[in-house]
Amino acid sequence: MQEDKYLTVSALTNYIKRKFDADPYLHRVYLVGEISNFRLRTNSHQYFSLKDENAKVSAIMFKSAFAKVKFQPEEGMRVIVSGRISLYPGNGSYQIYVDSMQPDGVGALYQAYEQLKIKLSQEGLFEAPKLPIPKYPRKIAIVTSPSGAVIRDIITTVSRRYPIVQLVLFPALVQGNEAANSIAAQIKMINTLDDFDTIIIGRGGGSIEDLWPFNEEVVARAIFASKLPVISSVGHETDTTIADLVADMRAATPTAAAELATPVLTDILEELQKLQLQTIVAFRNILKMRSQQVQHLQQSYIFQEPQRLYEGYVQNVDILTEKLISLEKQQITTAEGSFKTLNSRLLANTPASRIKMAKQNVEHLRQMTNNNITNRFSKYANDLNSLIGSLDTLSPLKIMSRGYTYVTRDTKVVKSIEDLSIDDKIQLNFSDGSANAVIKTINSEDK
C-alpha cells in the first residue's frame, strides 16, 4: 500500500478551492433566488441561503457590503444578488460572497422607502399633532443648498410678499451619502437658537436617488423632534418623501413653501387700514354716546338741586341718633339692675354672715357627732351584754353548779380511769370548792 497516492481532506479541499478561485466565470456571478434561513445580525456579517424550486446555495454578506443595502431583507423575499463563488474549507461547501443585493421586481430604494414609511407610521410620527405655522414670522431658517435654485426662489417670493422678515440660510448637502446627516445636524442646530419662528427644508426635483436623503430615518426623526414648525419642500408636486410626511406642513415647491411661511405685507397693511378706520368709527360712536350721557346727567336733579342728594341721608342720621339714645338708656337700665343684684349678693356674702353660718354648721355637726357617739356606745354595750350572757351559758362553772365536777391528780386533769392507780391521791373540784380522796378500787366498764 503506497500512502503517497492518497490525499488528505485538507489537501483535497484546498485544491478544489483553488479551482473555484481560479475560474474567471465564478469571479462575478449574478443570481436570483429566495432568501432562506435569514436572521438579522446587528452590526455584523449576514449569513443566509438562496434557493429556488430545485436547489439551494449558502451565502454570506460582509458587514461593509450589507451597510450599502437600502432595504431590510426578510425571510422568503425574492432578491437579485451579485458576488463571487468560493469554497469554505471549514466544511467543504461552496458559497456565494454577496457584494450587492436588491429586491427582484422592485427597486431597493423604493423597498427601503416603503419599509421606513411603515415603521415610522406605526410609531405615530405621521399622525402626531402638527405645530402651527406662525402667521407673522420675524425670522425664518432655510436648510438647503446655498447654490441651488431653492434659496433663490424663496428669497424672491419672500421679498415680494413679506420683505420685513429675516431669512437665514443654513447650508446643507441635499444629495449624496452625507446629505442626510448634514440636514439633520442643521435642524438640530436651529433648535438650539431662540430667535427663529419657522424652518423651511427643501431641494429641487430629481430621481428617487437624488431625493433619497429626505427619505432617511435620521432626517425624519430630526424633523419630528424639532420644537419649531417645519415646512418641507422637496422635489415637485408629485414627489412625496418621508420628510414631507413628518413635517408640520408640506409645500409642493419652494415658492409654495415661502408663501405658506409668510403673509402678504400689502394685504396686512390693507387689513390694518381697515382696522384703523373701524377703530376711529367705533371711538367716535363711543365718544358721542358718552357725550349724550354727560348731557343727560347734567339735566338730572342731582346737578339741578344737589341738596336733594343728601336729604335722605340727613333723615337716616336723625333716625339712627334716636335709636342710639334709646339703646344707650336701655343699656344704662340693664347695668343698674345688674349692679343691684350684685350688691345684694355681696351683702349676703359678707364675712360676718359667713362666720355666723359657719358657726351654725359647726354646732349642728357637734350635735350629730355626740348623737352618733352615744348611739355607738349603746350598741356596743348591748352587744357586750349579749356576748357575756352567751359566754356565761357556756362556762364550765355554770355546768359544775348543776352537780358536775372534774378530777385532778398532781394538778393534771384526769380524763380516764387508765390514768389512775390504787391508792392514788386525787382532788375533786366542785363549783364552790374542792375535796381530797384516795383511790381504793377501780371499776372498768365492760366495753
- Residue 48 CA to residue 44 CA, distance in Å, equals 13
- Least-confidence region, from 25-39, 387-401, 414-428: 387-401
pTM for this model (two decimals): 0.47
> What is the amino acid identity at position 339?
F
- β-bridge partners, 30: 82
Would you say residue 307 has pLDDT above 80? Answer: no
| Residue 428: per-residue pLDDT | 86
| Residue 443: per-residue pLDDT | 83
For the stretch 407-410, contacts whose Cβ atoms lie closer than 8 Å and that sit 24 or more positions apart, written own/partner, are: none
| Residue 99: per-residue pLDDT | 93
- Residue 411 CA to residue 211 CA, distance in Å, equals 150
| Residue 253: per-residue pLDDT | 87
Place 395 in a pLDDT band, splitting at 50, 70 and 90.
Answer: confident
- β-bridge partners, 139: 166
End-to-end C-alpha distance for the chain, whole angstroms = 143
**What phi, psi does 239 have (nearest 5°)?**
-90, 130
Q: Which residues contact 372 (CB under 8 A, 6 or more apart)?
A: none
| Residue 20: per-residue pLDDT | 86
pLDDT tens digits, 313-366: 778 888 889 899 999 999 999 998 888 888 888 777 777 777 888 888 888 899
For residue 432, count other CB atoms closer than 10 A to its CB: 7
Would you say residue 367 has pLDDT above 80? Answer: yes
Higher pLDDT: 286 or 416? It is 286
Higher pLDDT: 68 or 222? It is 222
Q: Which residue in this structure is represented by grid cell 351683702?
A: 347
pLDDT tens digits, 241-279: 899 999 999 998 889 999 999 998 888 888 888 899 899
The CATH homologous superfamily of the domain defined by 7-106: Nucleic acid-binding proteins (2.40.50.140)
Place 3 in a pLDDT band, splitting at 50, 70 and 90.
Answer: low
Higher pLDDT: 105 or 209? It is 209
- Residue 197 CA to residue 123 CA, distance in Å, equals 27
- Residue 393 CA to residue 197 CA, distance in Å, equals 131
CA nearest neighbour of 34 among 20, 48, 18: 48
Q: What angle do CA 393, 399, 400 make, to 5 degrees?
A: 145
Do 228 and 197 touch, CB atoms closer than 8 A?
A: yes
Q: Which three cell numbers stand for residue 329?
A: 338708656
| Residue 447: per-residue pLDDT | 47
The CATH homologous superfamily of the domain defined by 114-263: Hypothetical protein af1403; domain 2 (3.40.50.10550)
- Least-confidence region, from 14-18, 280-284, 346-350: 346-350
Higher pLDDT: 400 or 180? It is 180
pLDDT tens digits, 48-91: 999 888 888 999 999 999 988 888 888 878 888 999 999 888 88
pLDDT tens digits, 126-174: 999 999 999 999 999 999 999 888 999 999 999 999 999 999 999 999 9
- Residue 186 CA to residue 196 CA, distance in Å, equals 13
Do 234 and 214 touch, CB atoms closer than 8 A?
A: yes
- Dump the DSSP string for 121-184: HHHTTTTSPPPPPPSS-SEEEEEE-TTSHHHHHHHHHHHHH-TTSEEEEEE---SSTTHHHHHH
Domain locations along the chain: 7-106, 114-263, 395-442
| Residue 11: per-residue pLDDT | 87
